[in-house]
Amino acid sequence: MLKKRDIFIGIIVGLIANAIGLLLTATVLGNDDDFITVIKAAAAQGFLGKLISLGAILNLIVFFIFIKKKQDYRARGVLLITVFIAVFTFVFKLI
C-alpha cells in the first residue's frame, strides 16, 4: 500500500514539476506575451510538443532529488510521468 502511495506522490510531483517547467519555458521564450498567448502561438506554429518537452526538464531535477533521498518509489512515479509525457508529445507530433 505504501509503495502505491509513493508512486502516486511521484506522479503528482512530476506533473506539478512539468507544469512549472512549462510555465517557466513559456515565460522565458514568450518575450512579453502572457502564458495563454504563448501556448496558443506554439500550438498554431506546431511546436507545442517541444515546449511541453522542455517543461519536463524539471522532472530530471525532482527525480535526482528523490533518488538522493532514497525515495525510489517516488522517483519511479516521476519517471513514469516523464515517459508518459514523452509518448504524449510523440503521438501529438504525429497527429
Structural domain count of the chain: 1
**What's the CA gap between 45 and 24, in Å, rounded?**
19
Does the pLDDT of residue 16 top 90, yes or no?
A: yes
**What's the CA gap between 78 and 7, in Å, rounded?**
8
Average pLDDT, the chain: 89
**Structural domain of residue 76, as residue ranges?**
2-94
Does the pLDDT of residue 49 top 90, yes or no?
A: no
The pLDDT of 15-25, averaged and rounded, is 92
What dihedral do alpha carbons 85, 89, 91, 95 form, nearest 10°? 150
**What's the CA gap between 31 and 17, in Å, rounded?**
22
Instruction: Give the residue among 80, 73, 95, 91 at the shortest CA–CA distance from 18.
Output: 80
Question: Which pLDDT belongs to residue 63?
Answer: 95
**What's the CA gap between 95 and 86, in Å, rounded?**
15
Confidence of residue 90 (pLDDT cuts 50, 70, 90): confident
**What's the CA gap between 10 and 6, in Å, rounded?**
6
